[in-house]
Chains A and B, each alone.
Chain A
C-alpha cells in the first residue's frame, strides 16, 4: 500500500537551506489549533498534545476503514502579534499562535469531530475539541534552516531580514516555524527548525529579477 508523505511530496515547501532562500507554498490542508501565549507554556504544550492526539486518531481510524494511509507531517507554527508590532519587541505572553499539521485533502471535518469525541470520552485533554481543519496558503516566503536553541533564532532571523532588505521584499510580520527535531531529548545546540518568513506577494513580483539573479 502506498503511504502518502506530504512532507516529502512537497519537498520544495520544506526546503531548509543554510542561507535564506525564497519559496512559494501553495494552498494546503492542515489540522490546526489556535492560542495565545509563549511557546513552552502549559496551554501551548496542551495544544501540541491535542493536535497530535487528533492527528494520529484520524490517521489510524481512516486506515482501519481502508481510507488510505499517510505519514503524519512535522509540526508547524505561525506566530503573530495582534497590533502588528514586531514579535521580538512584544512580550511572549501576548503572542498569538496557530499550530498546524499538514494533512491530506481527503481528511474530512467529520473525521476530526469523531476523533475529538472518542478522545474526550476517554478523558484525554478537552483541547481536542479546539482542533479544526483549515486550508491555508503561506504564499511567498523567505525560508532558512536554523540549527540551535529556539532562543538563538534571532541570529537566523537577522539573516532573513537582511535578505528581505537586499531584495526589497516586505515581510508580513508573521513568523513561522517547522519543527524538524524533537526538543524533548535532542540537545538544544542540535535542534533543527525551518524558519519561514512570509513576504508580501506584490513585493516578490516587483523584485523577481533581483531574486532570480541571486538564485542563479
Chain B
C-alpha cells in the first residue's frame, strides 16, 4: 500500500518535471505546475522540493544550464545567445554561473572534448534531449523521525485578523485580535490560538506572505471592523508537533509535506495547513515553544 502510493507520488511528479522540461523557456506558475499532477497548490511546492531536493526555481535554473552545456557542444550559436536562452542577462553572468557549477568557462568547455558535462546536482533528474523522464529516485532523509497522528477535526468557528508580510511580524495581528477578545471574556478556557499560513516562504516573497491569526469562539459577535469570522473546515488531518522557535517552523513543514506525505498513503486536501500554538511566546524560551501543525487530508475513498 505504502509503496504503491509513493510510486504514484513519483509518477505524478515525473509529469511535472517533464512539463518543466518541455516549457523551459516559459514563465511557469506554481498553480500551473500543481495542476499537471493534480496537487493542491497550497502544498505542491513543499512536496516538490521535498521529493526533488531543490526548489522549482533551482531546478529550472539548473536544467537551463545543463541545456546550455549541450548547446555549447552541439551547436554553433554564440555564447551570448546561449546565455540569453538560459535566462542570463549577459555572457558574463552566464560564465560565472556555468563555471561555479562545472569548474570551467563556457568557452573552454566548448573547445575541449575532454571536459566532462557538468554534474550540476545530486538529484537524479537531468536535462534530456528529445525524450521524457520516466522516473526518478526521490530525495529522502535516511531517517525520517516524525511523529504523525491522523485526527478527525470538527469545523471550528474562529474570530481572525489577517496579516500580510513576513510571518515573524504577525504579532500586531495577534495584538489586535487578543485586545478585542479579552474584554469579551473570550480568552482562556478552551479558546485555541490558531495560525493559518497560506504561503511557503521559500517561494513567496516576504512582503506577500499571507497569514491569519485566529482564536476559536462559540459564536459570532459584534466587534470592530478589523475582526472577521469564519469556519476552519474540519475533516481528516495529519498532525505533527514542532518543538522549538517559530523561525524553524518552515523546516518542519518542509519535512512534513516533502518527506512524510509523499511516503505516506495519504493525499493532501486543497486547503491550507494550520498551526495551533500551545504556549505563550512572550514568556517561553524559543526552544520550548510547542506548535501542532495540521495538514488537511482528502477523505478516504472506499475502494
Binding site for B on A (CB under 8 A): 3, 5, 7, 49-50, 52-54, 56-61, 63-64, 71-74, 115, 117-125, 128, 181-182, 184-186
The 7 A-B pairs at the shortest CB distance, nearest first, are namely A53-B188, A118-B185, A60-B182, A64-B179, A122-B185, A124-B189, A119-B185
- Give the contacts of B245-293 with A (CB-CB under 8 A): 278-280, 282-284, 288, 290
Residues of A within 8 A of B284 (CB): 182
A54 touches B179 (CB 8 A): no
Contact of A63 among B175, B185, B278, B280 (CB under 8 A): B175
Complex: how many Å from CA A197 to CA B28? 66
Binding site for A on B (CB under 8 A): 175, 178-189, 218, 241, 243, 278-280, 282-284, 288, 290
Q: Name the residue of chain B whose CB is nearest to the CB of A6.
A: B283
Complex: how many Å from CA A115 to CA B116? 74
Complex: how many Å from CA A184 to CA B288? 12
A71 touches B283 (CB 8 A): yes
Residues of A within 8 A of B178 (CB): 56, 60, 63
B228 to chain A, nearest CB (A): 18
A57 touches B188 (CB 8 A): yes
Between B187, B241, B283, the greatest number of chain A beta carbons within 10 A of the residue's beta carbon is seen for B187
A sample of 22 cross-chain residue pairs with beta-carbon separation below 8 angstroms, ordered by A number, consists of A3-B282, A5-B283, A56-B187, A56-B188, A57-B182, A60-B181, A60-B182, A64-B180, A74-B283, A117-B185, A118-B185, A119-B185, A119-B189, A120-B185, A122-B184, A122-B185, A123-B218, A124-B188, A182-B284, A182-B288, A184-B290, A185-B243
Complex: how many Å from CA A61 to CA B185? 10
Q: Name the residue of chain B whose CB is nearest to the CB of A75.
A: B283
Given contacts A118-B183, A181-B288, A185-B278, contact A54 B188 (CB under 8 A): yes
A56-B187, A115-B182, A185-B290 known; 9 other A-B pairs, CB under 8 Å? Answer: A3-B282, A50-B188, A57-B187, A59-B182, A60-B183, A63-B179, A72-B283, A122-B184, A122-B186
Q: Name the residue of chain B whose CB is nearest to the CB of A190.
A: B288
Residues of B within 8 A of A53 (CB): 187-189
Residues of B within 8 A of A61 (CB): 179, 182-183
Given contacts A124-B189, A182-B290, A184-B278, contact A7 B283 (CB under 8 A): yes
A182 touches B283 (CB 8 A): no
Residues of B within 8 A of A122 (CB): 184-186, 218
Residues of A within 8 A of B184 (CB): 118, 122
Q: Name the residue of chain A whose CB is nearest to the CB of B189.
A: A124
Residues of A within 8 A of B175 (CB): 63
A125 touches B189 (CB 8 A): yes
Complex: how many Å from CA A115 to CA B181? 11
Residues of B within 8 A of A182 (CB): 278-279, 284, 288, 290
Residues of A within 8 A of B183 (CB): 57, 60-61, 64, 118
Complex: how many Å from CA A186 to CA B282? 18
Complex: how many Å from CA A128 to CA B187? 12
A56 to chain B, nearest CB (A): 5
Given contacts A53-B188, A185-B241, contact A71 B182 (CB under 8 A): no
A60 touches B179 (CB 8 A): yes
A177 to chain B, nearest CB (A): 16
Residues of A within 8 A of B278 (CB): 182, 184-185
Contact of A57 among B185, B218, B283, B288 (CB under 8 A): B185
Complex: how many Å from CA A64 to CA B184? 12
Residues of B within 8 A of A186 (CB): 288, 290
A145 to chain B, nearest CB (A): 14
A134 to chain B, nearest CB (A): 20
Complex: how many Å from CA A72 to CA B183? 17
Complex: how many Å from CA A59 to CA B187? 11
Residues of A within 8 A of B288 (CB): 181-182, 186
A71 touches B282 (CB 8 A): yes
Complex: how many Å from CA A54 to CA B175? 17
Q: Name the residue of chain A whose CB is nearest to the CB of B243.
A: A185
